Amino acid sequence: MTVKDKFKNVNGHSIEWGESTWDAKDYSIRNRYDNTTTGKFNKAGSGEIPWEDFKLMIKQSILKGKLNNTEIAEILTDIAKTL
């Protein structure tokens, strides 16, 4: 993945957005974990997902009731702030 944007969290965790490893024309997202001992990238715990698949995962998780009302409200509040 060619990283174009990044959200850095604590304990070596981050979320990265950018050009996919399989095709630079495709966009993807990665839930990245670095090994806190070695500082190296943990490939097994850091899956890259095609952007279209990620959007479908969010939509279906909502439609299938996998998110509770509190979680949906938090997401909607954040969405409203960006509009």
pTM: 0.78
Looking at the structure of the chain, the number of domains it has is 1
| Structural domain of 66 | 2-82
Q: What integer pLDDT is reported at residue 14 of this predicted model?
A: 87
Tens digit of each residue's pLDDT (9 = 90 or more) over 18-64: 999 999 999 999 988 877 677 667 666 678 899 999 999 999 999 99
- The CA angle 26-11-70, to the nearest 5 degrees, is 75
Domain containing residue 54: CATH number: 3.10.450
The bridge status of strand 2-8 relative to strand 27-33 is unpaired
Query: 2 falls in which pLDDT band (50, 70, 90)?
Result: very high
- What is the mean predicted confidence (pLDDT) over 61-77? 96
